[in-house]
Amino acid sequence: MVETSRKIAFDIVKSIDDKKGQDIEILDIKEISSFADYFVIAHGTSTRQVKAIADEVEDQMKERGIILDHKEGYANGRWILLDFINVVVHLFIEEERNFYHIERVWKDAVHVNVDNL
């Protein structure tokens, strides 16, 4: 069975939540982007936590056969990008997230409710 991008995004949210990621958001960018369907955005309180979240997401997706196409920023852990083709994950430390404020840059994206997980 081929999993939908939306299901993958929600499963990533669960993995982030399991590692106590904060302020988790899904942005639906299908209508305004040609390179992905969703962004999943979250932050942690330290680079160690952000790396642990990234490791958990990568491990959980790998177990399910979802291939990580590209990873950036892992060495410093301040902003880690995990590219699963249709779902791109942005994991920050809080200060970096506040500085780059991706939600503002992608203000035309649809915010998907993640409260009912």
pLDDT at 1: 41
**Does 91 reside within a domain?**
yes
Contact yes or no for 38/83 (Cβ under 8 A): no
pLDDT at 117: 60
Return the CATH number at 61: 3.30.460.10
Q: For the chain, which residues score pLDDT lower than 70? A: 1-3, 116-117
**Does 117 reside within a domain?**
no
**Does 17 reside within a domain?**
yes
Bridge-based pairing of strands 110-112 and 38-44 is unpaired
* Tens digit of each residue's pLDDT (9 = 90 or more) over 61-95: 999 999 999 999 999 999 999 999 999 999 999 99
Number of domain units in the chain: 1
pLDDT at 6: 94
Its pTM stands at 0.93
pLDDT at 116: 64
**In terms of residue numbers, what domain contains 96?**
5-112
